[in-house]
């Protein structure tokens, strides 16, 4: 059994979760947890929230689109001459740009 001390944290109270427990549950700073009070037996249940994404694997574009079989082409509004290696003009300066 591990013990911790509740500490003042602004107008709230804070509890530091020991590293061993964080490692065991796969928790890291910034993770969200649910806190459920149980007045019946004077207990507090703290459980990790389910994650949409995990830090275990960095996804590549191939991973993200692995199940997709549709065709893709760049939308016309994103096609700029610079993408074909040509010079692209952004027009005359309109503010205090330095050229």
Identify the three-state secondary structure at position 88: coil
Nearest CA to 53 out of 24, 23, 31, 34 is that of 31
Q: What is the DSSP letter of 64?
A: H
In the predicted model, what is the mean pLDDT of residues 11-28?
A: 90
Pair 31, 17: CB distance under 8 Å: no
Nearest Cα neighbor of 32 from 16, 49, 17 is 49
> Measured between alpha carbons, how far is 9 from 7 in angstroms, rounded to an integer?
6
Which residue has better confidence, 92 or 19? 19
Whole-prediction pTM:
0.45
% of the chain residues with pLDDT over 70: 83
Q: Residue 64: its pLDDT value, please? A: 81
Residue-averaged pLDDT of the chain: 81
pLDDT at 85: 64
Tens-digit pLDDT profile for residues 42-83: 899 988 887 666 666 777 888 888 888 888 777 777 766 555
CA pseudo-torsion sign 89, 93, 97, 99: positive
């Amino acid at each position: 059994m591990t013990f911790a001390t509740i500490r003042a944290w602004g107008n709230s109270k804070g509890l530091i979760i020991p590293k061993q427990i964080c490692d065991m549950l796969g928790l890291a700073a910034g993770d969200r947890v649910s806190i459920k009070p149980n007045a019946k037996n004077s207990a507090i249940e703290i459980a990790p929230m389910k994650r949409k994404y995990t830090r275990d694997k960095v996804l590549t574009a191939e991973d993200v689109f692995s199940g997709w079989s549709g065709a893709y082409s760049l939308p016309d509004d994103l096609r700029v001459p610079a993408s074909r290696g040509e010079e692209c003009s952004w027009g005359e300066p309109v503010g205090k740009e330095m050229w």
